[in-house]
């Protein structure tokens, strides 16, 4: 596996996905900057345009935003009407920038002094998830329209690469993840978009991405599919999915070829976090590592290629802002304990 950031290792550093439940921008940024690899946060409770699907949709041809009803659709006739103009504008990289209307945090994040961090992180929604979630005027998912799907993957590549270059201008080690919760549906009978189609589309997308190639998802897809893909870092909910994940042979292969696993081990739901402690969460995480070590994976390789994160985002429930902040504090202390143990 290539090294897009030579010398970068996970080494039990903390990071997180992009979504936070906050409506206070400065408070959200402070949380995002507490982890070892900070990120610019997405704040869907702040306004409609902070939703990761809405953010992604800016400048995609045919998109119709219904703010009153909190809906995104793609009008097929409008798509073809706007297509020629889009193709012309796509030569300008700024077409794929996020305007201030669509993010309240990105520019403020970049105004901070980020030089002390080993890397910084950004994110977009993945094309499979966007294509399965967003429908046309006939309520048909746009991923089933071959022309729209082809452009969707090209659009995603351009979005990721623009954000990568923006972050790269601020810090020498940027990474831009794409979040693919929809991958879980690809392997179910619910979706008519097959895993063969997803594999081909995903390979084409990954081949054109600059920098580190990272995917995050909280669901339970066919892990072999993802672990065999040409990605550098895989972020997943190990709190809920770890028992299944570590049983895949390709998990060991992924680590041994230099892939980084970002273990989502700290729950962000108050009903779960309240019954866990740092000790129980560390025991759970190291239990997964014990299992992999028993299957022949070097513990040193595991910890060198490990990051730790919250298990999921938390956008529902009472006091979710306070709960997420508590989870980040637990995360920070766990990362410190792991580094003291493995990198004294």
Give the C-alpha separation, 140 to 135, whole Å.
5
**Mean pLDDT value of segment 204-219:** 91
Taking residue 154's Cβ as centre, other Cβ atoms within 10 Å add up to: 15
Q: What does the pLDDT read at residue 225? A: 85
1: confidence class by pLDDT, cuts 50, 70, 90? very low
Give the C-alpha separation, 106 to 120, whole Å.
12
**Mean pLDDT value of segment 265-274:** 87
188: confidence class by pLDDT, cuts 50, 70, 90? low
Length of the chain in terms of residues written:
344
Give the C-alpha separation, 89 to 84, whole Å.
9
CA-CA-CA-CA torsion sign (13, 18, 23, 25): positive
**Mean pLDDT value of segment 70-84:** 98
Give the tens place of pLDDT for each residue, 111-139. 999 999 999 999 999 999 999 999 999 99
Q: What does the pLDDT read at residue 254? A: 95
Alpha helices by DSSP H, listed for 35-145, are 52-57, 76-89, 106-111, 127-133
Residue (of 251, 96, 74, 234) closest to 166 by Cα position: 96
Q: What does the pLDDT read at residue 272? A: 84
Give the C-alpha separation, 136 to 77, whole Å.
10
DSSP state, 162?
H
Q: What does the pLDDT read at residue 182? A: 82
Is the domain covering 13-342 a CATH 1.20.120.1760 domain? no
Please state, rounded to an integer, the average pLDDT across all residues of the chain: 93
Strands 71-74 and 306-310: unpaired
Give the tens place of pLDDT for each residue, 215-267. 998 888 888 888 988 999 999 999 999 999 999 999 999 999 999 999 999 99
**Mean pLDDT value of segment 280-284:** 98
Q: What does the pLDDT read at residue 187? A: 63
What is the widest separation between alpha-carbon atoms in the chain?
61
Q: What does the pLDDT read at residue 195? A: 80
Taking residue 116's Cβ as centre, other Cβ atoms within 10 Å add up to: 7
Q: Would you say residue 4 has pLDDT above 80?
A: no
Domain ranges in the chain? 13-342
**Mean pLDDT value of segment 101-106:** 98
Q: What does the pLDDT read at residue 2? A: 43
- Stated pTM of the model: 0.94
Q: Are 121 and 67 in contact (CB under 8 A)?
A: no
Q: Would you say residue 39 has pLDDT above 90?
A: yes
Q: Would you say residue 83 has pLDDT above 50?
A: yes
**Mean pLDDT value of segment 182-211:** 82
62: confidence class by pLDDT, cuts 50, 70, 90? very high
Q: Would you say residue 86 has pLDDT above 90?
A: yes
Residue with tokens 């094309």: 127
């Amino acid at each position: 596996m290539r090294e897009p950031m030579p010398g970068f290792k996970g080494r039990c550093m903390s990071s997180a996905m992009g979504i936070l439940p906050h409506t206070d921008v400065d408070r959200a940024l402070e949380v995002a900057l507490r982890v070892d690899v900070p990120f610019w946060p997405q704040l869907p409770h702040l306004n409609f345009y902070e939703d990761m699907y809405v953010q992604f949709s800016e400048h995609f041809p045919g998109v119709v935003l219904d703010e009153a009803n909190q809906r995104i659709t793609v009008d097929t006739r409008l798509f073809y009407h706007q297509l020629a103009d889009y193709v012309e504008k796509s030569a300008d990289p700024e077409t794929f920038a996020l305007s201030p209307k669509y993010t309240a945090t990105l520019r403020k994040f970049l105004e901070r002094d980020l030089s002390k961090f080993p890397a910084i992180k950004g994110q977009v929604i993945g094309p499979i998830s966007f294509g399965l979630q967003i429908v046309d005027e006939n309520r048909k998912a746009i991923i089933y329209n071959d022309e729209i799907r082809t452009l969707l993957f090209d659009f995603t590549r351009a979005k990721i690469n623009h954000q990568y270059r923006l972050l790269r201008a601020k810090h020498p080690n940027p990474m831009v993840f794409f979040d693919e919760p929809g991958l879980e549906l690809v392997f179910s009978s619910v979706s008519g978009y097959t895993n063969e189609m997803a594999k081909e589309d995903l390979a084409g997308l990954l081949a054109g991405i600059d920098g580190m190639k990272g995917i995050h998802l909280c669901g339970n897809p066919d892990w072999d599919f993802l672990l065999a893909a040409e990605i550098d870092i895989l972020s997943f909910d190990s709190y809920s999915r770890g028992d299944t994940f570590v049983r895949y042979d390709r998990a060991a292969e992924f680590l041994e070829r230099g892939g980084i696993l970002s273990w989502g081990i700290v729950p962000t739901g108050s009903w779960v976090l309240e019954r866990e402690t740092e000790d129980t969460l560390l025991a759970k995480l190291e239990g997964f590592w014990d299992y992999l070590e028993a299957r022949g994976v070097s513990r040193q390789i595991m910890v060198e290629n490990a990051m730790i994160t919250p298990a999921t985002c938390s956008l529902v429930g009472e006091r979710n802002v306070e709960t997420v902040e508590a989870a980040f504090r637990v995360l920070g202390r766990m990362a410190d304990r792991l580094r003291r143990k493995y990198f004294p």
